[in-house]
Amino acid sequence: MKNLYLGAGVILAATLTACGGDSNQPDAVVDEAVRTPDSIKLSYVSRYSTGSFDASAAEIPAYDAASQRLFVVNAEQGELDVLDLSDPENPVKIDAISVAGIAPGAEVNSVAASHGLVAVAIEAEPKTDNGFVALYQASDLTLLGSQRVGAQPDMVAFTPDGTRVLTANEGEPSDDYQTDPEGSISIVDFSDPSNPVVSTADFTAYNGQEESLRNQGVRIYGPGASAAQDLEPEYIAVSADGNTAWVTLQENNALAKVDIATATITDIVSLGEIDRSVEGNGIDASDDDEVINIRTFAGVVGLYLPDSIHGYTVNGKTYLVTANEGDARAWGEDNDDYWGEEADAKVVPPVACEPDASQGFVEEFRVKHLVHNSGFARRCGDDLPPQLSALAEGALLDPAVFGYCGATAGDSGDCREDDVLGRLNITWTMGYKTDVDGQPLKFMANGSQPEGDEVGTHIMYDTLYSYGGRSFSIRDDSGDLVFDSGDAIEQFLASDDCKLGSERSIDCADYFNSGHDEGNAIDSRSDAKGPEPEGLTIGQIGDKHFLFLGLERMGGVLVYDITDPAAPVYQDYLNSRETWDVAPEAGNLDGYGDLGPEGLVFISAADSANGKALLVVGNEVSGSTAIYEVQSVFSE
């Protein structure tokens, strides 16, 4: 597979979509009656601002065409903001839907709209309890019915006929890891809204098959967790005929296929990884050098770990588009008991570092700390996961793989330097050498095999697994990869063709891989997940399908023509963040624009109030809902 970025034309070619949004069906929003454009571009129209900074006050939008209303998740308030979009240039908040009457202390996670109805996913307090889905009339906000679903419903979607609602019940563990509910997908029949009927597609049939799933590449790794507890549904796409759903299992790097009629999981597919040693799949791996340095690394792969997924149909076949954000499990990271008290040999008697592994689970670790020649103990009480400490006394890099950056048998060489791989965040839970039974092979600290009575103390990594594809992928309905954008997104952000601000007057390269809550922060996200593609939606205009892809950290929306699933073509990039050199903060958002795109919804020209196709973006950090016009471009 090869991905190209071609100068001013900016074409992606190949030889080979937290949380809800629109109705999320293949071809859910179609402008078939209009002329097919040669290309499209975005232009900024307006925004509605809550004035709340970094409080998830504008996360997920959904649109009802009949009432010309936007419904926007305001997690901070635990409610749904209702905006009048009859004048797209002046969106106005006219009401709000509170879910306090359904569940005290509840939090709104997601929203979808279809057939004049609005479905809301509601997380209970605590999040490990079963949540709810509620159905409202879009025109007058009447509550039509509600139903209990699984734990932590994180995303909601309608079937095409509007009679059933699906929720992805993520079932994350509690922060102290004392409670770990099962993940599931709820299917709620709202044919009679006052008497909804719920069916549950769960993963209990896979309990006892954990090792088989791991061998297939599915990540099952929560301490002591069964498959049903470990699998965490994130986002749902529903087929055009309403018979099948595909659900991203983000932390598991997998996709579940669901038979809706029987509420049954019919398949779990591993999504594999992206090989960072291959040209076109490179990354900028350091946040410390403050320069753009996208390159390949042998022995490094990226786990796709997708968030959003949407489907569309081409020539009768369903294709699935994923935003490969990446996500690490980090529970108990703020719990001192989990980490233990930092050792201090100067204290009499000496203070021992005694972490409590039962109080959390953190899988993320920097390469420089993982393969330090002094071993793990030096990090105890700081950032050393106790589960890693129990695994070995230290870690080595396989010199046969990492010799290119100076690794030898017992020394990581220059590989752990900040401007090489040292700053990169990876998961320590995989990538080390194992025996035929899957148990870690142990080596001596100098990298040699134990002999005689010697006992190995160190594990050896021949692969480093980083978070996220930093890309979008297109797969067929079996989950097989058709296209992946590789490093094209980072290459574009580094190019002279990329501009920031609604007037497109700021060079992207000056703020490459910045964070959404930072100022003057070039390269700050390169060690983590880069620009972090997270939210997406698909719209059809004439005979063409277009992808709108939000970059959570860098911000902005990338647009691609995906009519040919094997060869997407770049169309445009619009980033309506206006201020980049000074960090935003609460009470000082004037002039900053939009920060942290989360959910997106496409509104066809036929459904919009002004007869123009629109894109609506919920921005969780700036607490703003942005409206863009989708302009068709014709050669004649």
Query: Are the CB atoms for 171 and 225 separated by under 8 Å?
Result: no
Listed residue (60, 59, 160, 57) closest to 117, CA to CA: 160
Give the number of C-alpha atoms closer than 13 A to the C-alpha of residue 334, restricted to the C-beta side.
2
The dihedral through the CA atoms of 76, 79, 80, 83 has a sign that is negative
Angstrom distance (rounded) from CA 248 to CA 122: 19
Mean pLDDT of 116-142: 97
Please say if the pLDDT value at position 218 is more than 70.
yes
Listed residue (342, 344, 390, 382) closest to 366, CA to CA: 382
pLDDT of residue 351: 65
Query: Are the CB atoms for 555 and 575 separated by under 8 Å?
Result: yes
Please say if the pLDDT value at position 63 is more than 80.
yes
Mark residue 217 as left, alpha or beta (left: phi above 0; alpha: psi -120 to 50; beta: remaining): left
Question: What domains are defined for the chain?
Answer: 7-271+306-327+468-633 (2.130.10.10), 331-465 (no CATH)
pLDDT more than 90, % of the chain: 90
> In the chain, what is the straight-line distance between the N-terminal and C-terminal CA atoms, in Å?
34
The dihedral through the CA atoms of 65, 66, 68, 69 has a sign that is negative
pLDDT of residue 317: 97
Q: What are phi and psi of 312, to 5 degrees?
A: -150, 165
- Give the confidence band of 25 by pLDDT, cuts at 50, 70, 90: low
Least confident of 23-37, 170-184, 308-322, 513-527: 23-37
Please say if the pLDDT value at position 121 is more than 80.
yes
Q: E strands within 10-163?
A: 30-31, 39-49, 61-64, 69-74, 79-84, 92-98, 107-114, 117-123, 130-137, 143-151, 153-158
- The structure tokens listed for 96 are 């709000």
Report the mean per-residue pLDDT for the chain.
93
Least confident of 104-108, 170-174, 244-248, 505-509: 104-108
Please say if the pLDDT value at position 579 is more than 90.
yes
Least confident of 27-36, 282-291, 303-312, 379-388: 27-36
pLDDT digits (tens, 9 = 90+) for 68-97: 999 999 987 889 999 999 999 999 999 999
pLDDT digits (tens, 9 = 90+) for 522-541: 999 999 999 999 999 999 99
Angstrom distance (rounded) from CA 583 to CA 543: 43
Please say if the pLDDT value at position 11 is more than 50.
no
Angstrom distance (rounded) from CA 270 to CA 281: 19
pLDDT digits (tens, 9 = 90+) for 409-447: 999 999 999 999 999 999 999 999 999 999 999 999 999
- Give the confidence band of 9 by pLDDT, cuts at 50, 70, 90: very low
pLDDT of residue 453: 95
pLDDT of residue 343: 60
Please count the other Cβ atoms lying within 10 Å of the Cβ belonging to residue 395. 25
Please count the other Cβ atoms lying within 10 Å of the Cβ belonging to residue 174. 15
pLDDT of residue 341: 81
Please say if the pLDDT value at position 563 is more than 50.
yes
Number of H helices, E strands in the chain: 7, 40
Please say if the pLDDT value at position 147 is more than 50.
yes
- The structure tokens listed for 355 are 């972490």
Angstrom distance (rounded) from CA 95 to CA 106: 19
Q: Judging by DSSP bridges, how do beta strands 330-331 and 361-362 pair with one another? A: antiparallel
- The structure tokens listed for 513 are 């891989």
Least confident of 70-74, 99-103, 381-385: 99-103
Listed residue (20, 4, 127) closest to 63, CA to CA: 20
Residue that is written with structure tokens 């209009």 in the block: 34
Q: Taking the CA atoms of the chain, what radius of gyration do you get in angstroms?
A: 24
Higher pLDDT, 14 or 202: 202
Query: Are the CB atoms for 74 and 50 separated by under 8 Å?
Result: yes
Please tell me what DSSP assigns to residue 431.
-
pLDDT digits (tens, 9 = 90+) for 587-633: 889 999 999 999 999 999 999 999 999 999 999 999 999 999 999 99
Mean pLDDT of 159-183: 97
pLDDT digits (tens, 9 = 90+) for 443-461: 999 999 999 999 999 999 9
- The structure tokens listed for 76 are 């901070």
pLDDT of residue 12: 36
The dihedral through the CA atoms of 292, 294, 295, 300 has a sign that is positive
pLDDT of residue 2: 36
- Residue type for position 315: N
pLDDT of residue 75: 87
Query: Are the CB atoms for 491 and 293 separated by under 8 Å?
Result: no
| pTM (predicted TM-score) | 0.95
pLDDT digits (tens, 9 = 90+) for 540-555: 999 999 999 999 999 9
